[in-house]
Amino acid sequence: MNSKNPVIRTATLILFWLVVVVVLFYVLFPFYWAVKTSLTGSARLSAEALQWFPSAPSFQNFRDVFTGAPFGRNLLNSVVVATGTVVLSLLLSVLAAYALGKFRFKGKTILMYLILAVSVFPQIAVLSGLYTMIQTFGLYNSWGGLILSYMIFTLPFTVWTLTAFVREIPTELEEAAYVDGASPLQTLFRVLLPVMTPALVTTGLLAFINAWNEFLFALTFTTDASAATVPPAIANFTGASQYESPFGLTMAASVIVTIPLIILVLVFQRNIVSGLTAGAVKG
Question: What pLDDT tens digit does each residue of the chain (283 aa) get?
Answer: 455 677 788 888 888 889 999 998 888 888 888 888 777 776 666 666 677 787 777 787 788 788 867 888 889 999 999 999 999 999 999 888 888 887 777 877 888 888 777 777 788 888 888 888 898 888 888 898 899 999 888 888 888 888 888 888 777 777 777 777 777 777 777 878 888 888 888 888 889 999 998 888 998 898 887 888 988 888 877 655 555 567 778 888 888 888 888 888 787 777 666 555 554 444 4
Q: What is the 3-state secondary structure (H, E, C) of the chain?
A: CCCCCHHHHHHHHHHHHHHHHHHHHHHHHHHHHHHHHHCCCHHHHCCCCCCCCCCCCCCHHHHHHHHCCCHHHHHHHHHHHHHHHHHHHHHHHHHHHHHHHHCCCCCHHHHHHHHHHHHCCCHHHHHHHHHHHHHHCCCCCCHHHHHHHHHHHHHHHHHHHHHHHHHCCCHHHHHHHHHCCCCHHHHHHHHHHHHCHHHHHHHHHHHHHHHHHCCHHHHHCCCCCCCCCHHHHHHCCCCCCCCCCCHHHHHHHHHHHHHHHHHHHHHCHHHHHHHHHCCCCCC
Q: What angle do CA 158, 263, 261 make, to 5 degrees?
A: 50
CB 201 within 8 A of CB 272: yes
Identity at 67, one-letter amino acid code: T
CB 203 within 8 A of CB 275: yes
How far separated are the first and last CA of the chain, in Å rounded? 27
**pLDDT for 281:** 42
d(C-alpha 240, C-alpha 248), whole Å = 12
pTM score:
0.80
For residue 105, give every residue at least 6 positions away whose Cβ sits within 8 Å of its Cβ, in sequence order, or none: 99
Q: What angle do CA 102, 103, 106 make, to 5 degrees?
A: 140
Q: Which residues of 99-120 are buried (b: 16+ CB within 10 A; e: fewer)?
A: bbbbeeeeeeeeeeeebeebbe
d(C-alpha 98, C-alpha 89), whole Å = 14
CB 221 within 8 A of CB 146: yes
